[in-house]
Amino acid sequence: MTETFLSKILIPSVTPFDALQRFGKLGSFFYPQSITWREEPYPTQWPKVITAHVMTGLLFYASLHLTWVGFQQIISYEKDPDFSDNTGLTGLVFIIGHCSVIAAATASTFYGVNASSISLGFRQLQKICRSTNYEKSWTPKLDQLGLYLHSLLGTIIFAPVSLTLINLLYPINDPSYFILRSVPILPAWGKTILRAVSIPLFGWQISVMNMGTILILCNVAVMFHDSLTISSNLNFTQETNYLVKYRQLQIVSVTMNQGFFYVIPVGLGCSFVCSVASAYVVIKFFSVVPLATLTPAVAIMSSLVGMSHVGLDLLGNIGTRSANFVRYFGFRRGREPYWRRKLRSYSNIGFRVGQFTTLGKKVRVNFLSNLLYYTATALISSGGNSTY
């Protein structure tokens, strides 16, 4: 009887592709985003995407304003009294919020500009993966990557709600305060109401953009890995098909790199700063402030550490997999002059960090080691005091 009952229980699929499908529904719950994520992604039509473009403009203005406020604090001799408190938590919240806004504004802006390139690249990558049954190869099981990506969906819902409740229960000068304080025409009660409305609204857009970027890039990395997997016992026709597929992957990687040209470097930099600041807040203020106020910092730190452990490892190993792919066919066909010349044009595939470098297999180790180093340095330099 127990076996019959257990056999009737349907375990929902928690694969990376399912997480992306559910993100598409969740991200467009209130208003459509620049890219509509269904079975295949497509740019959202213009009348439906106006709200998303308005939110992008507001995020871009907020990022510029917060950057100016932070720059003033760096170069000014007399510090802003609004940043001064007994614990220094205001400055840390400002840093976390500022970096989150910059990353979200960058992603939202370039998703709107490069929606066609990203959608086209993703669709072409899906077509290439259909030969290896990408969607069907993920069976309904507790996949580690799928579980992590589904946890990001919970973060998207949890972040704006928790930020709103914490701001009501434990008021603090969050980044919205520094934006609205420079508007003299609004009375104090008007600014309070506007902050109460803007915090969940902007928190939602920021969470959708930042967590969505992780979801999209992880799915892209999984499809690249799946496409670069070589079957055993290949014949001549199958080898030719694999080499044609690799050439297609090279074209898709160029398209995807153009779409994420600024998103990846800005996102990595902001993620690192947010991770250090969040870890510092959780460790340093664990016994100083109410535990409820630390929940957003714990959620941010967990999401970004998971991103560095899982997502960066996938993206960084694409280059290694592609090099092994070319090396394998070099051993099999390298003796033939035609194939030797042809394989020379098969350069490694990888995701670029803007104009700087390509993500390599050591990116995860470098990210986590620097995170530990700078967090420990900040804790040691602050000593036993709870001031920033």
Residue 1, domain member (yes or no): no
Contact 353, 261 (CB under 8 A): no
Contact 175, 101 (CB under 8 A): yes
Residue 41, domain member (yes or no): yes
State the Cα–Cα distance between residues 146 and 152, nearest whole angstrom.
Answer: 10
Residue 314, domain member (yes or no): yes
pLDDT of residue 136: 47
- Asked if residue 388 has pLDDT above 50, the reply is no
Return the percentage of the chain with pLDDT > 70, whole number: 91
Mean pLDDT of 263-292: 88
Both tokens of residue 262? 């600024």
For residue 158, what is the enclosing H or E element? Answer: helix 144-169
Q: What is the dihedral of CA 38, 43, 47, 48, to 10 degrees?
A: 30
Domain that holds residue 91: 12-382
How far CA 170 is from CA of 103, 175, 193, 282, in Å, comes to: 26, 15, 16, 17
- For the entire predicted model, the pTM comes to 0.89
- Predicted confidence band of residue 11 (pLDDT cuts 50, 70, 90): low
State the Cα–Cα distance between residues 65 and 176, nearest whole angstrom.
Answer: 10
The 3-state DSSP class for residue 39 equals: coil
Residue 185, domain member (yes or no): yes
Residue 27, domain member (yes or no): yes
State the Cα–Cα distance between residues 139 and 87, nearest whole angstrom.
Answer: 49
- Predicted confidence band of residue 15 (pLDDT cuts 50, 70, 90): confident
State the Cα–Cα distance between residues 137 and 129, nearest whole angstrom.
Answer: 10
Residue 267, domain member (yes or no): yes
Mean pLDDT of 73-77: 83
Residue 270, domain member (yes or no): yes
Return the percentage of the chain with pLDDT > 90, whole number: 39
Both tokens of residue 8? 């009737």
DSSP string, 102-116: HHHHHHHHHHHHSHH
State the Cα–Cα distance between residues 212 and 107, nearest whole angstrom.
Answer: 9
Residue 7, domain member (yes or no): no
Span 209-245, pLDDT tens digits: 999 999 999 999 999 998 888 877 776 677 778 888 8
Structural domain count of the chain: 1
Mean pLDDT of 279-288: 85
Mean pLDDT of 103-121: 93
Span 169-190, pLDDT tens digits: 777 788 888 888 878 888 888 8
Both tokens of residue 74? 């760096």
